[in-house]
Amino acid sequence: MGSDLPLDCHLHTDLSPDSNVPIDVYCALAVERGVRELAITDHVDFDPRDPAFAYRDFGERERTVRQAAERWGDRGLAIRFGAEITFNRAWEGDVREHLAAHRYDFTIGSVHDWPDSPYRSASIGSWIAATPLREVLRPYFDEVTAAARSGLFDTIGHLDVVKRYLYPHIAATALAGAPELFEQSLRAIVESGTALEVNTSGLRHDAGETYPAAWVVDWYRELGGTRLTIGSDAHRREHFGFGLEDGYRIAAEAGIDHLTFRRGAARIAVALPERFQSGAAA
């Protein structure tokens, strides 16, 4: 569990359809464990088939977070109003319109699905068995690349989360054996100036590693990437802070000594604690 850390910038409350956690539960845990800043990033989706579509309106979500920030501010906890926005090129216009009309402190752009894919269906095993790995994953990474190039988001969420849904048909080691699948997306993230999220929820999933894996973060750094965010992607009370220490360590071992975060209009650097910086690569 993370403790005495500056930031967890990926959290879902009961304002997301897949979470049951009131915001004050996370706030109390953050104060208890010394996590100094949170970004509440409830789901925003534009596909009418998605459970998060129109689940809560912007005003309710913002009011809930801003009021919590006032309640907990005197306890030394900063709370930012963010959103995890599902990206799909079919809905890009809707996303642009939403972000032009609404102010967030911080935005995560995540790919959760892509057209014509059975990856969450009962037929996934037979599909994968009959399809080369590149063809399985290319449409997913094409969407991730488009999300980065859109310039709409502060960070790209859980870059290779697709491995969660491909398990056990495709192991994480298979992705590590095909690094070329990641290159276009990583270059797009670097070139666009978007940050890359180290999402630690994979450590509690069957994948057993962060999204993306540490070797991907190392490669991102080699390609010139310097902007990282770290989040636990908690949806349950017991998920809060899970794996954050590992995420900070991965950042440091890649040679990064700060996170890149946005608080409203200002993009700021959040230093990693010294215990991680001392292990950072030169």
Structural domains of the chain ordered from first start: 8-277 (3.20.20.140)
Q: What is the mean pLDDT of residues 159-175?
A: 89
pLDDT at 260: 97
Average pLDDT, the chain: 93
Q: How confident is the model at residue 116 (pLDDT cuts 50, 70, 90)?
A: low
* CA-closest candidate to residue 147, choices 178, 100, 109: 109
pLDDT band at 267 (very low <50, low <70, confident <90, very high): very high
- pTM of the predicted protein model: 0.95
Closest CA to 112 of 135, 129, 90, 131: 90
Check pLDDT > 90 for residue 167.
no
Structure tokens at 247: 């995420």
Work out the average pLDDT over 121-139: 84
Maximum Cα–Cα distance for the chain, whole Å? 58
Contact 244, 210 (CB under 8 A): no
More confident call, 145 vs 167: 145
Q: What is the pLDDT of residues 76-96, one digit of tens each?
A: 999 999 999 999 999 999 999
Of residues 209 and 277, more confidence is placed in 209
Selection from 234, 231, 272 nearest residue 254 by Cα: 272
87 with 110: CB under 8 angstroms?
yes
278: its two tokens: 């001392």
231 forms beta bridges with: 199
- Let me know: does 24 contact 41? Beta carbons within 8 Å: no
Tokens of 243: 């794996």
Two tokens, residue 199: 């999402």
Distance, in Å, from the CA atom of 225 to the CA atom of 255, rounded to the nearest integer, reads 10
Can you list the alpha helix ranges (DSSP code H) found in 9-155?
23-33, 58-72, 92-101, 124-129, 133-150
Contacts of 216 (CB under 8 A, 6+ apart): 159, 160, 182, 186
| Chain segment 28-67, per-residue pLDDT in tens | 999 999 999 999 999 999 999 899 999 999 999 999 999 9
Supply the angle between the helices 180-192 and 133-150 in degrees, to the nearest 10.
Answer: 0
Mean pLDDT of 1-15: 89
Q: Report the pLDDT averaged over residues 270-281.
A: 77
If pLDDT is split at 50, 70 and 90, which confidence band does 70 have?
very high
pLDDT at 36: 97
Residue 281 has a pLDDT of 43
Rounded to an integer, the average pLDDT of 85-112 is 97
Q: What is the pLDDT of residue 119?
A: 64
Check residue 282 and give its pLDDT.
37
DSSP structure class, residue 247: H
Token look-up 């070139």 returns: 191
